[in-house]
Amino acid sequence: MKSPIGITLTEKEAKIKPDKGATILRRLLANKMSLFGGIVVLLYILIALFAPVIAPYDPYEVMLQDKLKPPSFEHFMGTDDKGRDVFTRILYGARISLGVGFLSVFIGAFFGIILGLISGYYGKMIDTVIMRFVDVLLAFPGLLLALAIVSALGPNLINVVIAVGIFSIPTFARIVRGSTLDIKKSEYIDAVKVLGAHDSTIIFRHILPNILSPIIVQGTLRLATSILSVAGLSFLGMGAQPPSPEWGAMLSKGRDFIMTAPHLALYPGMAIAIIVLAFNIFGDGLRDVLDPKMKR
Mean pLDDT, residues 146-156: 86
Local confidence band at 203 (pLDDT 50, 70, 90 cut-offs): confident
pLDDT tens readout for residues 96-125: 999 999 999 999 999 999 999 999 988 889
17: pLDDT strictly greater than 70: no
Domains, in order of start, for the chain: 38-51+76-294 (1.10.3720.10)
Whole-number Cα distances in Å, 95 to 91, 124, 191, 224, 242: 7, 44, 47, 15, 16
pLDDT of residue 21: 60
Residue 128 has pLDDT above 60, yes or no: yes
What pLDDT is attached to residue 16?
39
Other C-beta atoms closer than 10 Å to the C-beta of 178 total: 15
pLDDT at 172: 93
In this structure, which amino acid lies at residue 213? S
Supply the mean pLDDT for the chain: 84
Whether 59 and 84 have beta carbons less than 8 Å apart is answered as yes
94 with 248: CB under 8 angstroms?
no
Q: Is the pLDDT of residue 39 over 60?
A: yes
- The answer to whether 285 and 35 have CB atoms below 8 angstroms apart is yes
Burial letters 18-42, b for 16+ CB under 10 A, else e: eeeeeeeeebbeebeebeebbebbe
Q: Has residue 10 got a pLDDT over 50?
A: no
| Least confident segment among 58-62, 139-143, 177-181 | 139-143
Q: How confident is the model at residue 146 (pLDDT cuts 50, 70, 90)?
A: confident
Q: pLDDT band for 138, please (50, 70, 90 cuts).
A: confident
For residue 75, the number of C-alpha atoms closer than 13 Å in the C-beta half-sphere is 24
Beta partners for 79?
85
Confidence band, pLDDT 50/70/90 cuts, at residue 291: low
- Residue 31 or 48, more confident: 48
Question: Does pLDDT of 296 surpass 50?
Answer: no
Task: Give CA separation, 156 vs 152, 232, 243, 249, in Å.
Answer: 11, 13, 12, 12
